[in-house]
Amino acid sequence: MAYGSDPAGYHYAFDGMYCNVDAIVSQEEEDAREAALQEDQLEKHRLRLKLTKHLSRFEDNEKVLLQGRKFLLREHKQKLIKRYIRIEALPAPYADVVTQKDAIQLLVGEYFRNTVGFPLDFFEQSTIDSLAIKLSENQAKDTAYSRVADLRRCIFDIIDKEANNKQLNLPINSEDTRQLLSACRLSLLINDYISKSPSYQLEVREKTMQAFAYEMSMPLEHATMPNGKKYIPRWKARHLHTLDYYAYAEVGKGLKRLESVDRGKNVIEYIIDIVEVCLGF
């Protein structure tokens, strides 16, 4: 480098040498970086031990895989929620509601007050409470989509019953209804992944995939909708997904890496590989 021809960001040091003074850090800053790196490595080691201990409870590679998926989704839960809300075009405040234990009751109650035009009475609220518990427990291991369909029927049963007794905001806003049902579906998806057993998740996932495949195999219809509404082909199939469908690209890569781990290995080796994938994302 010729003398006096210092590049942008560099300054003359000595004997024709140049350096980027903005890149120079003090010993204290260097020590702080090193300490942060060591703490990060220590935390990763703790997490490796904790996750390995947890996965060692399972003797079946399929269940180990499911727990690995659950770990990744739980670690990135808020990102998943934000992406779901963006894809489904839901109001941002829903992100704070859908993770609550009584999310469905809160969402439905707000819907009746603001959209339908009246608050639920004691008996109506009790009906919603009982149904919300049933949908969350999901003993039949139904898809989230079919459970939300049950909720929709219950809601409109209440609306129909009260149509002659109360002043309603008719016609009911269809966009508000769509947003309510979508948010309730997200709440159920989160509950399924965070709170349920591996066997439960496997069965619900399988049912969801089967229902999706069935809907996609049906011939497209050229149907007309009442009141001039737009017909959207395969509307049901568009919402037949489990929570991992809404993962960001980074998490999606992690889930694919988990799926690619050789399930023919013995469970101890398989757990080690699953843990390494989980800690890499």
**Confidence (pLDDT) at 190:** 93
**Confidence (pLDDT) at 249:** 78
pTM over 0.85: no
- Whether residue 102 contacts residue 132, with contact meaning beta carbons closer than 8 Å, is answered with yes
Q: How many helices (H) and strands (E) does the chain have?
A: 10, 2
DSSP element (H, E) containing 18: strand 17-19
* Residues of the chain falling short of pLDDT 50: 1-4, 21
**Confidence (pLDDT) at 64:** 93
CA distance 100 to 104: 9
CA distance 281 to 278: 6
CA distance 208 to 244: 12
Give every CB contact of residue 227 below 8 A, 6+ residues apart in sequence. Answer: none
Which residues are paired to 12 by β-bridges? 18
- Whether residue 98 contacts residue 200, with contact meaning beta carbons closer than 8 Å, is answered with no
CA distance 146 to 208: 10
CA distance 241 to 189: 9
**Confidence (pLDDT) at 250:** 80
For the chain, how big is the Rg over CA atoms in Å? Answer: 26
**Confidence (pLDDT) at 99:** 93
